Structure 1
């Protein structure tokens, strides 16, 4: 297997539906009542009041958000899902913006099977702005580089699910989509007007935003640092500031933090992190062993 194919991104499974606000809490309650029901299309349709394709999309999002997974048809909450959504969970109905940021983090930072559009848009592109046709051309090239040959329809549907997740519906035909996604309120993607795109069409322009750390919360950022450290730098006692600010799956790139904001946070958080200037960037060490589970609880303290 080539080095490129060692990364196995996901291109589909969402049935072209972005996750709706009510889906995760509904599914968690169903899993608590009957761990087998969600794997049975007909029972899940009756229990959840969703169509068959939406049920399949919901199963996809449960796994993509690291909330729950199935084994032999039986669903169970994963550690993150149990802590946030389970019985006596920290925020079972997604009432706090911190939960929305944590869901974005879980969705965007999978190591083994990342969502292709998320990985490409957040970590692989140099420019922050794009049209749908520009994104399609890039994703086609990137997919081929990784050894895949998906149709343009599959790639564009996947790109549209990313956009629907953060800016809502691209069409006024279904305005409820713009209100129903748990990630829309984060403001991570904004519309920037229009410009000429593929086939000489005038297209909407989208861009990734920079987010002030105060809008995310320092405890969410600390959780992200510890989670990044455990998932991607396990066993290392020191990591570079550049890794934390710009690396794939990093707090800086995933949460769209300004590097100066992240640096100031590290300097203020002397009980957790030790930041030392080194060359043009700096090195970060952990004052205590990074513990994402403890820091997750502190988000809601």
Structure 2
């Protein structure tokens, strides 16, 4: 089955497409609903009025909808994804982002879209420093780009992506403008990045993540099974990813024991779909039903009585 995951492709990478505008709380909802009413809204003169933002912000809203796979680029043009419809329509799971699970979902979509949000993919799948400065991370990202990607990428633009990631994920404790920006960036509530002492030294490491529901773990794991076209995944691969692959544990900043606990709970909830077994001394997650749609898990979470 198809997967929305887009692991690293040396020929397909994007930096700075957000036009320096971090994702804001209302943007995905406003943009998706406007697109559902008018498929050409983002190229329309009415976009600034309909969305209540300037032209550059219109482009940023479109970008974040594509980056989070709520809208997809197809041969016929831009289309709403089944995922976007499942979240943002009138009967969707959480159109106004009132449930933290939806923020985890948006985070997952960004961190696993290496084509459109390359720096996010790198930071959450490949960068394993628990404590770092913004300059350290920027240099490491620039090295990753030089060593793994083809084509020309402005080093200045590449390095600036780290600042954008920190703005979107790290609650601010400095000036009023930065605090206002962080309050308007929904992903800060996930607490995946924290500033230490000042805004130049940061911490991002594994935790228990009690607010991360197992249904989202099921959705994410099923997407990896689909993308890898396999029915067996070593749990170590789910934690850290294969080379340049998607690392579920790392994306959600789970500890190894926390990931295993989440997977054990997933198996208890869905014993007909998943099993954990040891093969040749390696703990592995098995998928027993390859016909299961990834969205099934999200529907169970958002609409448990249906």
TM range (shorter): 0.7 to 0.9
Residue 105 in structure 1 maps to residue 113 in structure 2:
no
Q: What is the root-mean-square deviation of aligned Cα atoms in Å?
A: 2.3
> Which runs of 5 or more residues in structure 1 are unaligned?
195-202
Matches of 2:42 and 2:76, distance apart in 1: 8
Residue 244 in structure 1 maps to residue 241 in structure 2:
no
**Counterpart position of 1:33:** 37
The alpha-carbon distance between structure 1 residues 262 and 60, as it changes in their structure 2 partners (threshold 3 A), is same
Partners of 2:86 and 2:92 within 8 A in 1: yes
> Which runs of 5 or more residues in structure 2 are unaligned?
1-7
Superposed displacement of residue 126, structure 1: 3.3
Q: Which has the higher contact order (CA 8 A, sep 6+)?
A: 2
The alpha-carbon distance between structure 1 residues 257 and 114, as it changes in their structure 2 partners (threshold 3 A), is farther
Q: How many residues align?
A: 286
Partners of 2:171 and 2:191 within 8 A in 1: no
Superposed displacement of residue 70, structure 1: 5.6
Within a 5 Å distance, the mapping from 1:260-275 to structure 2 comes to 260-268=257-265, 269-270=267-268, 271=271, 272-275=273-276
Superposed displacement of residue 295, structure 1: 0.9
The alpha-carbon distance between structure 1 residues 127 and 279, as it changes in their structure 2 partners (threshold 3 A), is farther
Match of 1:176 among 168, 176, 180: 180
Matches of 1:285 and 1:224, distance apart in 2: 14
Partners of 1:67 and 1:81 within 8 A in 2: yes
Residue 228 in structure 1 maps to residue 215 in structure 2:
no
For residue 249 of structure 1, give the secondary structure of its aligned residue in structure 2.
coil
Residue 124 in structure 1 maps to residue 120 in structure 2:
no
Worse overlay, 133-142 or 260-269: 260-269
The alpha-carbon distance between structure 1 residues 141 and 166, as it changes in their structure 2 partners (threshold 3 A), is same
Superposed displacement of residue 19, structure 1: 0.6
**Counterpart position of 2:5:** none
The alpha-carbon distance between structure 1 residues 142 and 54, as it changes in their structure 2 partners (threshold 3 A), is same
Superposed displacement of residue 48, structure 1: 1.0
Match of 1:58 among 57, 61, 74: 61
Matches of 1:31 and 1:192, distance apart in 2: 40
Superposed displacement of residue 58, structure 1: 0.7
| CA deviation vs aligned residue, 1:196-232 (integer Å, no higher than 9, x gap) | xxxxxxx61112132314221121111111122112x
For residue 211 of structure 2, give the secondary structure of its aligned residue in structure 1.
helix
Q: What TM-score, normalized by structure 2, do the two folds share?
A: 0.85
Partners of 1:187 and 1:209 within 8 A in 2: no
Partners of 1:108 and 1:114 within 8 A in 2: no
**Counterpart position of 1:253:** 250
Matches of 2:276 and 2:202, distance apart in 1: 35
Q: What TM-score, normalized by structure 1, do the two folds share?
A: 0.86
Superposed displacement of residue 71, structure 1: 6.1
Matches of 1:221 and 1:34, distance apart in 2: 33
The alpha-carbon distance between structure 1 residues 211 and 28, as it changes in their structure 2 partners (threshold 3 A), is same
Residue 295 in structure 1 maps to residue 276 in structure 2:
no
Partners of 1:136 and 1:152 within 8 A in 2: no
Partners of 1:190 and 1:208 within 8 A in 2: yes
Superposed displacement of residue 279, structure 1: 5.2
**Counterpart position of 2:156:** 153
Within a 5 Å distance, the mapping from 1:271-282 to structure 2 comes to 271=271, 272-278=273-279, 281-282=282-283
Matches of 1:88 and 1:211, distance apart in 2: 33
Superposed displacement of residue 63, structure 1: 0.1
Match of 1:211 among 189, 207, 210: 207
Residue 285 in structure 1 maps to residue 286 in structure 2:
yes
Superposed displacement of residue 152, structure 1: 3.6
Matches of 1:266 and 1:122, distance apart in 2: 20
